[in-house]
Structure 1
Amino acid sequence: MTWTGSHTLTTTASAEAIWYRWTTPQTWPVDDPDCRWARIDGPVVVGATGTLKAKGPASRFTFTEVEPNRRMVFDIALPLATLRLPHTMRATPDGVTLTHAVEITGPLAGLWGALIGRGVVKGLAAVVANVATNALAHPTDERR
């Protein structure tokens, strides 16, 4: 079983500035009001791990796909399910189109979708807008 949701928008921010926000955990709480803190245990490469704290307990995650300035995906293991968070972007004539998605797979995907997926998806519009706005305003690590 699979449960999914996503939000997409187009921005004039550069792919590099968006990538910076996606791969710099210090920016995650700025862009995502539900994220309290996050850390990555090394460079963002396939197999790298990290921890994030949202509304519930802290969660460990693993990067499963990394294509600089195009796509990153990280997975969080849930009981009898996997929460996958794909982030994708592509160049368009109007700018960069970015999408944040939530995919939950496994025998309890429907239950986890109801318990946490809906809330995550509900916040995606604000998160994607914040990433786009902050990538334009702060394209580098000037706030560190």
Structure 2
Amino acid sequence: MTWRREYTQLTTATPEAVWKRWTTPEDWATDDPDLREATFPVPARVGAVGRVVNHGTPAQKIVFTELQPGYAMNFRISLPGATLSFPHRMHMTPNGLSVTHAVEISGPLAKLYGLLVGRSIAAGLPAVVRLVTTNALADAVGWTTP
């Protein structure tokens, strides 16, 4: 069983600027209001292990499962009876760069975790994608965002 939600936004940011936000641990907490801290080796590579700490929750181990510069990034968190993944995708369209962040839960307890944590993570995806794309644009022109 798989539970999945995603959010997509168009931007004039470059794939390189978005990729930098996706692969710089210090940028993750700036781009995700629910995240307090992220640590992982740079440059990130498939199989690399890091950790994320959300506000009010214990640290979670992450493992990078996909890194395709300028196109895709994914990492997973193992849960008892399920795997929580965060697929990120981008591609050029005639109207700009399409940036998608998703939350996907797979395994025998996917439906339960979807109810317990998936819905709240999915509710935060629009804010995260907006911040990633806004901050990627600001990086490109040297602006500082609040």
Give the whole-Å Cα distance in 1 for the aligned partners of 2:142 and 2:21: 9
Root-mean-square deviation (Å) = 1.6
TM-score (norm 2): 0.93
Kindly provide the amino acid, as one letter, of the partner of residue 5 in structure 2.
G
Question: 1:35 and 2:35 equivalent?
Answer: yes
Deviations, residues 35-89 of structure 1 (Å, cap 9, x unaligned): 0000103421111111000132111011111100100010100001000100000
Question: In structure 2, the residue corresponding to 1:36 is in which secondary structure?
Answer: strand
Give the length in aligned residue pairs.
Answer: 143
Q: Where does residue 46 of structure 1 map in the other structure? A: 46
Structure 1 residues 66, 118: CA separation in 2 closer, same or farther (over 3 Å shift)? same
Deviations, residues 88-144 of structure 1 (Å, cap 9, x unaligned): 00011111100000110001101111111000000000100011100001139997x
Structure 1 residues 70, 79: CA separation in 2 closer, same or farther (over 3 Å shift)? same
* Contact 2:24–2:42, Cα closer than 8 Å, also in 1: no
Q: Where does residue 12 of structure 2 map in the other structure? A: 12
**Paired-residue identity, %:** 51
* Contact 2:23–2:42, Cα closer than 8 Å, also in 1: no
Question: 1:118 and 2:125 equivalent?
Answer: no
**Structure 1: which 5+ residue stretches go unaligned?**
none
Give the whole-Å Cα distance in 2 for the aligned partners of 1:81 and 1:102: 13
Kindly provide the amino acid, as one letter, of the partner of residue 139 in structure 2.
H
Structure 1 residues 51, 141: CA separation in 2 closer, same or farther (over 3 Å shift)? farther
Question: In structure 2, the residue corresponding to 1:107 is in which secondary structure?
Answer: coil
Question: 1:67 and 2:72 equivalent?
Answer: no
TM-score (norm 1): 0.94
**Structure 2: which 5+ residue stretches go unaligned?**
none
